[in-house]
Structure 1
Amino acid sequence: MLKKLFSSSIRVDVLALLLNNPDDEFYVREIAKLLQKNPSGIKRELDNLEQVGIINSERVLNFKYFKVNKKSPLYTDLRRLVLTSLGLKGSLQAVLKGAGTKSAFIYGPYASDDQAKTVDLMVIGTKTHLADEFRDLERHFSCTLTWIEMDEGEYKERRREREPQLVSILSEKRIPLIGRV
């Protein structure tokens, strides 16, 4: 829906990333890597969004960091529009990409029935804590997010040792969000 509303799919992806991670700053190449898009296209869209006042930038040494402008009169409406159009899965993907997550998936009741109000997540290799972003998503989607967070080494070790909880989770139906498990 958003890709038809906006003239650029890159702009939609950039907005989704920044609006789902409102407290984080990103530089051009970081955004390009997260979204797997060309840096020059990303830069052009960031400049357009900055001219309109939807995002702000700050130069630190040789890097120009971009962040959503929470004081923009469009911020609340755009955030609501992006969250609603992406749905829970798309919003989770945007938050997890912004956090640098290596791999993540949904398991449990929601994986079998997307009407379930509890969403269980396995998050592997995240560089930041996700509690604040997840609380925002819980409020918006009226659900409860529970998650298990571990680094890649811990995940590989638990899988190698066939830890019962992990084996049980991996044997259930899953909805992949990022990467492969």
Structure 2
Amino acid sequence: MLEHLFGSRTRVKLIALFLSQPEDPIFVREVTRRINTQINAVRRELANLTTFGLIMESRDIPDDGEKKRPGLKRKYYKLNAMFPLLPEVRSLMTKAQLLVEHKIDKELLSHDGVKYAALMGAFLGSSAPVDLFVVGSIDRTTLQRIVDKMQKAVGQEINYTVLSVKEYQYRKEMSDKFLYSIFDAPKNEVVNRLDTE
């Protein structure tokens, strides 16, 4: 959807990546790995976004314990927090993700085996253990097809977890740390049929 507006799927993936990690300077090869795109396309779109002013280029090595090697000059990229249209770009990306969520709602609701599903993390621009959490039974191929569509639409990798109802109940009774981290994280519940069990 957004690639039609922005002219490039790689550009959409890059914008989504930098909006999700506004404080992190990222090395070009790391960017390529995270959005799973050819390095030449990434370099071209990084140049476009730098010229546009949405991201900044730096040759400084971030203070992450990495030793400087003589003659090493890596380029790092980071979101430009002073970009005048940043609120509008962020709003546009969020609205596009909400449209994607609406389509996902319908797909997940159409599967009776799905008892609970919540969108988190990448969908809300917040930190969460996963981006999609599902409780119930759904064919793995079907779920992977839904996730592939989500990844294509939001321009980044979607991490997900699926628990059977039995496993969910067991983990809840055991006060499982992972499950409670999901309970505590911001989320948009798209399916909640657990109370009907």
TM-score (structure 1 length as normaliser): 0.53
Structure 1 contact 27–66 (Cα < 8 Å) conserved: yes
Which of 122, 125, 147 is the equivalent residue of 1:92?
A: 122
Task: State the number of aligned residues.
Answer: 118
For residues 123-163 of structure 1, the C-alpha deviation after alignment (integer angstroms, 9 at most, x for no partner) is xxxxxxxxxxxxxxxxxxxxxxxxxxxxxxxxxxxx9xx86
Separation (CA, whole Å) in 2 of partners of 1:166 and 1:11: 39
For residues 40-67 of structure 1, the C-alpha deviation after alignment (integer angstroms, 9 at most, x for no partner) is 1111100011011111110024211101
| CA shift for structure 1 position 106 | 3.9
Partner of 1:25: 25
Gaps of 5+ in 1: 113-158, 176-181
Amino acid at match of 2:50: E
Matches within 5 A, 1:79-118: 79-87=90-98, 89=119, 92=122, 104-107=130-133
Partner of 1:75: 86
Cα RMSD (Å): 3.7
Structure 1 contact 16–94 (Cα < 8 Å) conserved: no
| CA shift for structure 1 position 82 | 1.1
Identity %: 27
Separation (CA, whole Å) in 2 of partners of 1:28 and 1:90: 27
* Higher RCO (C-alpha under 8 Å, 6+ residues apart): 2
Partner of 1:115: none
Larger radius of gyration: 2
Partner of 1:46: 46
Partner of 2:63: none
Structure with the largest fraction of strand = 1
Partner of 1:165: 175
Gaps of 5+ in 2: 61-71, 102-118, 137-166, 180-188, 191-197
Which of 74, 82, 93 is the equivalent residue of 1:63?
A: 74
For residues 56-85 of structure 1, the C-alpha deviation after alignment (integer angstroms, 9 at most, x for no partner) is 110024211101111111111101111221
Amino acid at match of 2:27: Y
Structure 2 contact 121–131 (Cα < 8 Å) conserved: no
